[in-house]
Amino acid sequence: MLPVAQQSSIQSNQVSEERPCKKRRRFHMKNWKKQIALVVAAGLLMAMGAVTAFASSKSRLETITDLYWGDDGTTANWETVEDAYQYEVRLYCEESQVASVKTKKDSYDMEKKMTKEGNYTFRVRALAKSNSKEFTDGYWSEDSEETYIAADFAELIKNGGSSSQLKNGGPGKKEGEQAAEEKEASVVSQAKWIQEAGSGRWWYQNADGSYPANGWWQDLANGIWYFFDAQGYMQTGWIDWNGSRYYCTGSGAMAVGEYTIDGAAYRFDASGALQE
């Protein structure tokens, strides 16, 4: 039997020899946890890379460039985009968004959204299916041209009415007629030339929905003068007015200077009056 002092020394040595082993086990445990964390992180990075690569492999739908208001002034129209699932349209009044809609058609009547007076524009973009593996949504288009909505029309729509309740403002139409021309003449204040269906005759709609009639009218955009009869239709040919004679070409433009008509040469002064 060993002396107590030697036994204590041996036990002390055994303890000191065991301690490094415990430290090594703790060290190996920490390394193992770090390795697992690195593997998990690498897996996440690979997954994110795969998602990014998948997204970048999709084709973006075309940006719409051809967009315009219809003749009624409230229907937004745009070109179709191949492979588009549907379209998103945003309506603006004086640059503030007032509505956003989605449709599978290439047009949308915004009439019910136009409850404020002002200038309206719209933007549109093509949308892909949410689960599409080939395409992603297109970019937003630029703003359309403006169309002006008068206060009376905006108030009518706001109160639940519709453009079909409005009286006709165009030339030659019967009161109460509910054709598309009514809305065009009375509601939309987008100045433009309008050709009447059927007769082919032309008239001009001012920005406030009115139209020139029974006299001369100058298009300020190009400085050309036109003559309109009492009903508001543009006239061509010879015009006798206030003791002078004028001539309007096939486009309706008043002739000035030298002009040949039916093979004969005529001279008109700067005001358009025929010189004898």
pTM over 0.75: no
pLDDT for res 191: 75
Give the separation between CA 89 and CA 54, rounded to whole angstroms. 28
Q: Name the amino acid, one letter, at 111.
A: E
The Cα-based distances of 214 to 6, 173, 233 in angstroms read 134, 16, 9
pLDDT for res 148: 85
Q: Name the amino acid, one letter, at 125.
A: R
The answer to whether residues 35 and 71 belong to one domain is no
Is 170 a domain residue?
Answer: no
Antiparallel, parallel or unpaired: β 135-136 and 118-127: unpaired
Structural domain containing residue 263: 180-268
Antiparallel, parallel or unpaired: β 59-60 and 135-136: parallel
As for how many domains the chain has, the answer is 3
Is 139 a domain residue?
Answer: yes
Contact 265, 258 (CB under 8 A): yes
The answer to whether residues 193 and 241 belong to one domain is yes
Interval 143-159: pLDDT, tens: 999 988 888 788 878 88
Write out the DSSP string of 192-207: EEEEPTTT--EEEE-T
Is 168 a domain residue?
Answer: no
Is 274 a domain residue?
Answer: no
pLDDT for res 267: 96
Is 173 a domain residue?
Answer: no
Tokens of 62: 């075309």
Which residues of the chain are modeled with pLDDT < 70? 1-34, 37, 39-43, 45-56, 161-190, 208
Is 39 a domain residue?
Answer: yes
Interval 238-250: pLDDT, tens: 999 999 999 999 9
Is 85 a domain residue?
Answer: yes
Q: Which of 57, 77, 101 is the last residue of a domain?
A: 57
Is 171 a domain residue?
Answer: no
CB atoms within 10 A of CB 145: 12
